[in-house]
Amino acid sequence: MKIVTQVSDLVSGCAFVPTMGALHSGHQSLFTLAAKKSESVMASIFVNPLQFENPDDLARYPRTPEQDAELAEEAGVTHLWLPLYEDIYPPGFKKLSAGPLGDIYEGASRPGHFDGVVTVVSRLFELVRPQFAIFGEKDFQQLSLIKKIKSDVEIVSAPTVRESDGLALSSRNTRLDAQSRLQATVISRALHAALAADNLASARSVMREVIESESSFTLDYAEIIDEDDFTEATESTLRPRVIISGWLNGVRLIDNMAMRSRAQI
């Protein structure tokens, strides 16, 4: 694996996996998917200050450079790019707006977050010029916004990787203490409860019951949306998706699952 530090050494036409480091098996699955798309697999590690609305969150974001390099190499990354802030944000760079979808759900709780995400991803695409870019479904709203970025890059989505008890893998999970780690399954339990319900009204109600049973979880939102436009799903929605977010002991967790559409039955 080649460590790339110069923009001139980037490999265009590759399969690209942008990350913020603290790599785990979820990222590994993105690298594996990238390796199926191209012989050149480029990963970047850049903790993007523009997408952190809270300076403490940015300061506490886990940074594990040595383990990251090992995991990337083992997972088939051929080029690991460690951009400098100035590579991504030269003087006078233009911050992009994520538009109205950037202001709801995650965006409502994290003002400016998605503007930062679309800005960095557009800039990374401009510099790398990959053929494919792989993103996880776990950050579903992020994935939807990235698909709206105007570029020639083919966006490939990858399924969420979970621990055996259902918790979606996330770099933030390392900040959960032992008790919060056990309580964190409340999200996947609520998602599964919604998926098992007979109709959307009971899905919404069982999901809330599960969430309320875990008093340490502070709910931000739990909703069933039409994944095409993030409006509230109805029984005739073709692609309903349950999205949940909240905090456990100060750690923000998010997750989602696609529901079977009753409109297609």
**Interaction site with ligand PAF (CB under 6 A):** 18-20, 48, 51, 117, 120-121, 139, 142
Q: Which is nearer to ligand PAF, 83 or 240 (CB)?
A: 83
Give the bridge partners for 223, in sequence order. Answer: 243
Shortest Cβ distance from residue 262 to ligand PAF (Å)? 31
Q: Which is nearer to ligand PAF, 51 or 78 (CB)?
A: 51
- The whole-angstrom separation of Cα 159 and Cα 62 is 23
Provide the CB-side half-sphere exposure for 120 (13 A, CA): 23
Residue 202 C-beta: closest distance to ligand PAF, Å: 33
d(CA 239, CA 220): 22
Whichever of 117 and 168 has its CB closer to ligand PAF, that residue is: 117
Angle between helices 186-196 and 200-212 (to 10 degrees): 160
- Which of 174, 195, 188 is closest to 217 using CA atoms? 188
Contacts 24+ apart (CB under 8 A), 142-145: 142/106, 142/114, 142/117, 144/101, 144/227, 144/230, 145/98, 145/99, 145/101, 145/102, 145/114, 145/117, 145/118
Residue number with CB closer to ligand PAF (142 or 160): 142
CB of 44 to ligand PAF, least distance (A): 7
Polymer length of the chain: 265
Q: Least CB distance from residue 147 to ligand PAF, whole Å?
A: 12
Q: Judge whether 27 counts as a catalytic residue.
A: yes
Catalytic hit among 24, 27, 79, 113: 27
Residue 17 or 167: the one with the smaller Cβ distance to ligand PAF is 17
Question: Measured from the CB of residue 149, what is the shortest distance to ligand PAF in angstroms?
Answer: 11
Asked if 246 contacts 219 with a C-beta cutoff of 8 angstroms, the reply is: yes
Measured distance CA(169)–CA(163) in Å, rounded: 7
Residue with Cβ nearer ligand PAF (104 or 197): 104
Beta bridge partners of 132: 15, 154
Longest dimension (CA), the chain: 55
- Residue 41 Cβ vs ligand PAF, minimum distance, rounded to whole Å: 15
Whole-number Å distance between alpha carbons of 177 and 139: 23
Catalytic residues: 27
